[in-house]
Amino acid sequence: MAILIDPPFWPAHGTIFSHLISDASLEELHAFARAAELPEGAFDRDHYDVPERRYADLVARGAVPVQANELVRRLLRSGLRVPARQRPEKLDGILAAAWERLAPGQGAIGAELIERWSEPHRHYHDRTHLLAVIQALNLLALRHGEDPGDEPRVPWLAAWFHDAVYRGQAGRDEEESAGLASRLLSGAGFRPAEVDGTVRLVLLTAGHAPGPHDPAGRLLCDADLEVLGRSPADYLRYAQAVRRDYAHVPDPAFAAGRAAVLRALLDLDPLYGTGTARRLWQERARENLAGELESLGGR
């Protein structure tokens, strides 16, 4: 495990910058950055941009100098590299196009939602998560034929709204997001069945426990929980981002609350409602959840 820094090379704002990374965890990287008094705004999803004048000081503090190509290789190997398509300058265009395909002519709603998902206090519940849920829906329903329910657009509409209001207040966030969906969709002339279905699914994401005869609910909940079945490195990045979302909660309280969430997910039988999601993600998801619970001192 190491903090790595490449030589000052990257020009911006009248100086040149280095990249500072961890090859182990974002938690390690943020701890080093705090100790070095780097501003939070210097963090760019998987690295810190640091001006040339800080290079020697950061090396003296323990950052290991490496060439840029080695830094990239180590970041890729760690699993912490954020793909270019998930970066803010790419995400807005990708999401705007996805919304236009879903709701042609309703660009104002899409723009408001993208703005909400871009709020600076979000770390996991951000645009990257929104895109991941949309892509998981596409995988499950469009590629593998899982049933979207009687109102085919509703799972996708609910994906856009399910964390549109996010303050780190479980339950209340879902209620306010559902209220936002009701107001915006009703005001834009969406059919009542679509509005009601979207509101219902948004509220369902508070517990991720759809009924046995709820194909739309199963589809959305499985897409929302796709992250649980990723590689251990990706799951670790997810867990660290969730902790940053709840930075306002003290460590003991967070550990207790998070452990309760993990146990509730492990108690779901099945964890995923669709056959495709069970086949693709369930085994790895249970391993990831159990591992995180153990790391919190739970059983």
**pLDDT in the model for residue 234:** 84
259-264, Cβ contacts within 8 angstroms, sequence gap of 24 or more: 259/293, 259/296, 259/297, 259/298, 262/289, 262/292, 262/293, 262/296, 262/298, 263/293, 263/298, 264/207
**pLDDT in the model for residue 212:** 87
Peptide bond into 152 cis (omega under 30): no
Tell me how many degrees the CA angle 241-204-131 measures, rounded to the nearest 5. Answer: 45
CATH class of 83-299: mainly alpha
Per-residue pLDDT of the chain (299 residues), as tens digits, is 799 999 998 887 788 999 999 999 999 999 999 999 999 889 988 999 999 999 999 999 999 999 888 898 899 888 888 776 666 667 888 899 999 999 999 999 999 999 999 998 898 999 989 999 999 999 999 989 999 999 999 999 999 999 999 988 888 999 999 999 999 999 999 999 999 999 999 999 999 999 989 999 999 999 999 999 998 888 988 998 899 888 889 999 999 999 999 999 999 989 999 999 999 999 999 999 999 999 998 65
**pLDDT in the model for residue 196:** 98
Report which of 80, 82, 117, 125 is spatially closest to residue 244, judged by C-alpha positions. 125
Contact by Cβ (8 Å): 100, 134: no
pTM, to two decimals: 0.75
Contact by Cβ (8 Å): 205, 220: yes
